Amino acid sequence: MVPLSEETIANDKQQNSSTPLASLELLKSYGSNKGFKKLCDEEKIMQPIDHSAAGNEVLGRKLSTDDVMRIAGTRFIQSSPSSPKSLGSSALKSIFSHPFGQFFSGLSDEEKEEVQLAESLLACAEKVGFKQFGRAGKLLSQCESSSSKTGSPVKRVVHYFAEALRLRIDLETGRISSKDLKKMQPMDPREITKNLTPSVLAFYEAAPFCQITMFTLVQSIIENVTEAKKIHVIDFEIRKGVQWTTLMQSLVSRNRCPLELLKITAVGSGSNSKLIIEDTGKRLKDFAISLKINLCYDYVIVPDMLQLREDLFKIDPEETIVVYSQYALGSKIQQPDQLETIMRVVKTIRPTVLAITEIEASHNSTSFVNRFIEALFYFSALFDCLENCMKHDEPNRLVFESQYLDYGIKNILAAEGAERNARNVRIDVWRAFFSRFGLVEAEISMLSLFQAELVAKRFPCGSSCTFDWDGNSLLLGWKGTPLNSISVWKFL
């Protein structure tokens, strides 16, 4: 089975996993102060850049964690030797001239220190890409001594990335085995989060992303079932089912086309799914009773998704069927046969609409250095968000970072093969994948966008959330760095 990745969508852009960081142009994608604009596109190369305006924008505010990483990347490229394999080669320097790099002298001493720390991390990753582990180890020692899991967001990012690079070196040099790695990371945090631990719940309540994606998708569902009297929702990752309390409140308040039946089918796999799904069902039934909604709650639980079949679902021809997936499909990328099975079953059921949200990042490249750069900016945005949305020393924040984010960073950077299960891909990869099953991207309405912006405004840190379009899909980001895609799909 061919894995779902950028390499399979664009074979001409494949890169060998041994490619050094110095040969990449991926870093240029993050040279802009907005994550959705590429620094080196033709228009920007042809037209002069107002460096003073860009510099004033940076110097007039506190640098975000991503800003620090972009400045460090620019300086790293510009200071590299001009060899054919170096990021500092003349060809790259001619197109990578981000104004951030020109204003280093105007930064505070603390910001300069953080930029230099990030440069050391990039240099270390380059050495790991070259398999120069001795030199990488020396740089790692510098990073480790200057970073901290309780420091600033930049220092926290460097701390966890340095740990991941150290782990990769130990794996590649044989100091530890892949079996040792599995013992060190016995449980995928994504499985734990299904039951919402206190630290995960604290993150969901403090950071806007989960609620924004949920309310936006529910709004899109409502717009597609306006004439339906019987609605059947199939949820591939129901968790606590909060999204369906929101849907119920909207359905009970609509004036025309009164609802006769709401059916929710939760889909799960594995030994822990049943208890979570049953507990969620009890709470949803109680909530439906309070609203006087006729709710039928059912579930389909299989050992793994290879066993999923359409005849396991109780389908009524009069029902309007909706499929909802919040990060469920992305968790199956490392098991493409299971992902294919899910999509074949969905195609057979043929719902009216699919409402999907996934992580908007490229963590499935075969190239270590590609994954490093993508992960660096993705997690930098997350750590920056946590600094803005939660207290600096809040225990739940420290637990969330040290367990969940740490796992993701180490899994993306150190693990390979079957052990690497954090394999997020961008919306363009999903778009190509879904097209194979006859799905087309439906338009997310301006009302749904308004709903997303409204939810963001409810959070003290919500002004840092950014929205942009990729095709008909909505990209939710943090200070310009995309973190989630929100999309709606229909069968031709």
- Decide: 388 and 464 in contact? Cβ < 8 Å: yes
Name, in order, each residue with C-beta under 8 angstroms of 415's C-beta and a sequence gap of 6 or more.
178, 181, 421
Determine the Cα–Cα distance for residues 115 and 113; give it in Å rounded to an integer: 6
Confidence class of residue 471 from pLDDT cuts 50, 70 and 90? very high
Percent helix, strand, coil in the chain, to 5, is 55, 15, 30
Could you tell me the two tokens for 193? 């989060």
- Domain residue spans in the chain? 17-189+366-419, 194-361+424-491
pLDDT digits (tens, 9 = 90+) for 160-217: 999 999 999 999 999 988 777 777 765 665 666 666 789 999 999 999 999 999 999 9
User: Which single residue is written with the structure tokens 């790259």?
Assistant: 92
Query: Is the confidence at residue 407, as pLDDT, over 90?
Result: yes
User: In Å, how far from its chain's centre is CA 313?
Assistant: 30
Give the tens place of pLDDT for each residue, 258-295.
899 999 999 999 777 888 899 999 999 999 999 999 99
Note the pLDDT of residue 196: 72
Angle between helices 109-129 and 133-146 (to 10 degrees): 160
Q: How high is the pLDDT of residue 81?
A: 64
Question: Where does 361-437 have alpha helices with state H?
Answer: 368-389, 395-399, 406-414, 427-435
In Å, what is the CA distance from 39 to each residue of 57, 140, 181, 378, 478? Answer: 16, 29, 38, 18, 19
Tokens representing residue 43 in the block: 């228009």
The pLDDT value recorded for residue 125 is 95
Task: Say what the pLDDT of residue 54 is.
Answer: 43
Predicted confidence band of residue 389 (pLDDT cuts 50, 70, 90): very high
Q: What is the pLDDT, as a whole number, of residue 77?
A: 85
Instruction: Say which residue, 255 or 151, is predicted with more confidence.
Output: 151
Res 449: pLDDT: 95
pLDDT of 27 > 80? The answer is: no
**Residue 163, number of CB atoms within 10 A of its CB:** 20
* Model pLDDT, residue 100: 55
For 423-456, what is each residue's pLDDT tens digit? 999 999 999 999 999 999 999 999 999 999 999 9
Instruction: Let me know the angle formed at the C-alpha of 402 by 400 and 403, rounded to the nearest 5 degrees.
Output: 65
- Between 431 and 22, the more confident residue is 431
- pLDDT higher than threshold 60 for residue 18: no
Give 29-71 pLDDT, tens digit per residue. Answer: 554 433 323 323 323 222 333 434 444 445 556 899 999 999 9
- 486 Rama sector, left if φ>0, alpha if ψ -120 to 50, beta otherwise: beta
Residues 6+ apart with CB under 8 A from 209: 385, 465, 476, 483, 484
For position 105, what pLDDT does the model report?
75
CA neighbours closer than 13 Å in the CB half-sphere of residue 356: 27
CA 85, CA 82: separation in Å to the nearest integer? 8
pLDDT class for 257, splitting at 50, 70, 90?
confident
Specify the higher pLDDT residue, 100 or 329.
329
List, as one string, the DSSP characters of 161-223: HHHHHHHHHHHHTTSS-HHHHHHHS-S-HHHHGGG--HHHHHHHHHSSHHHHHHHHHHHHHHH
Phi (first) and psi of residue 335, to 5 degrees: -125, 70
Q: Which residues sit opposite 485 in a β-bridge?
A: 358, 475
**How far apart, in whole angstroms, are the C-alpha atoms of residue 66 and residue 72?**
10
Strand pairing report for 230-235 and 465-470: unpaired
Length of the chain: 492
Q: Are 106 and 59 in contact (CB under 8 A)?
A: yes
Classify residue 314 as left (phi > 0), alpha (psi -120 to 50) or beta.
beta
CATH of segment(s) 194-361+424-491: 3.40.50.150
Mean pLDDT of 346-359: 98
Cα gap 207→204, rounded to integer Å? 6
* H-run or E-run covering 155: helix 153-172
* Cα–Cα distance, 352 to 491 (Å, whole number): 8
Closest CA to 430 of 375, 471, 467, 394: 471
Alpha-carbon distance of 206 to 459, in angstroms, equals 8
Cβ atoms 31, 95 nearer than 8 A = no
- Check residue 22 and give its pLDDT: 39
In the chain, % of residues over pLDDT 90: 69
* The model's pTM: 0.86
